Amino acid sequence: MNNLLKENERIDQLYSNDIKVIQNPEVFSFSLDAVLLSYFAKLPKKDSSVTVDLCSGNGAVGLFMSHKTRGKIWEIELQPRLADMAKRSVELNNLENKIEVVNDDLDNATNYISKDSVDVITCNPPYFPNLDNSKKNPNKYLAIARHEITTNLDKINIVCSDLLKTNGKVFFVYRPDRLLELLDSMKSHDIMPKVIQFIHPRKQKDANMVLIEGIKSGKNGGTKVLPPITVYQDESNDYTDYVRNVLYGK
């Protein structure tokens, strides 16, 4: 197992579905948003289904969803070092027959995957706009993962609209302060937002994440807001029952 690891890397585990992921805090480490996105997403069970995870980083979301489907999962990641970590994590979990990692710009997704052929897309996009005056992490890997340096919401939604079948679904995790931008971008590219769920660090705190489900060419209206997810119990650092179940299983 250790021969799969490179300098400063470690193996972390999502115990609820027994998945191991190669992490490197100097390059990229998944966090709770990736776990909650993978839990939120609904995948078809059938062998013929196709799922794509965009901006996949070290491959955590695709790996965490792999037990939900018998179909193919594609992971698309621009940064070679992150894509390499994802490929080795796929190997670590013996999922080479189910998950394929593509090291390329998501704009080139249709070079690998046919248009109008995908059932489900998941995406944890860069959260912060790439403004001239915005403070960016000096670490280029983390800066690209967090800021819209190489992609943005419109580019992502163009790719989603190109890849998805009619009535195919996309699942995002994003920041509440940019929720309206995301919803506007989805709708402008023929993806109708249908389900929204806010994530709060604690009961009395503002939401700091939001999950969104959209449907390609869906009808207008009928959007549901689900009960919120709270991460921590009142004043302690103990997870709520919901989050504990997501992380460790029942």
Which CATH number fits the domain that encloses residue 26? 3.40.50.150
Confidence (pLDDT) at 2:
58
What pLDDT band is residue 149 in, cutting at 50, 70 and 90? very low
Q: What is the rounded average pLDDT for all residues in the chain?
A: 89
pLDDT band at 131 (very low <50, low <70, confident <90, very high): very low
How many structural domains are present in the chain? 1
Residue 234, C-beta contacts closer than 8 angstroms, at least 6 positions apart: 202, 203
| pLDDT for residue 137 is more than 70 | no
pLDDT at residue 56 is higher than 80: yes
- Report the first-to-last Cα separation within the chain, whole angstroms: 28
Does position 58 have pLDDT exceeding 70, yes or no?
yes
pTM for this predicted structure: 0.90
CB-based contact 199:228 (threshold 8 Å): yes
pLDDT of 225: 98
User: Which pLDDT band holds residue 128 (cuts at 50, 70, 90)?
Assistant: low
pLDDT category at 20 given cuts 50, 70, 90 is: very high
Residue 17: inside a domain, yes or no?
Answer: yes
**222: in domain:** no
Q: Is residue 182 part of a domain?
A: yes
Percent residues over pLDDT 70 in the chain: 89
Q: What are phi and psi of 219, to 5 degrees?
A: -75, 150
For the segment 180-193, the average pLDDT, to the nearest whole number, is: 95
For residue 80, being part of any structural domain is answered with: yes
Q: Is residue 150 part of a domain?
A: yes
Angle (CA) 184 218 119, round 5°:
100
Kindly tell me if the per-residue pLDDT of 140 is higher than 70: no
139-156: average pLDDT: 58
Query: Tokens for 60?
Result: 């955590």
Measured between alpha carbons, how far is 20 from 8 in angstroms, rounded to an integer?
Answer: 16
Which residues pair with residue 74 across a beta bridge? 52, 100
User: What is the domain range of residue 65?
Assistant: 2-166+178-193
Write the CA distances from 49 to 90, 111, 120, integer angstroms. 19, 19, 8
Distance CA 114, CA 163 (A): 7
CA geometry: angle 206, 61, 46, nearest 5 deg: 120
Residue 18 falls inside a structural domain = yes
Q: Is residue 160 part of a domain?
A: yes
Domain membership of residue 198 (yes or no) is no
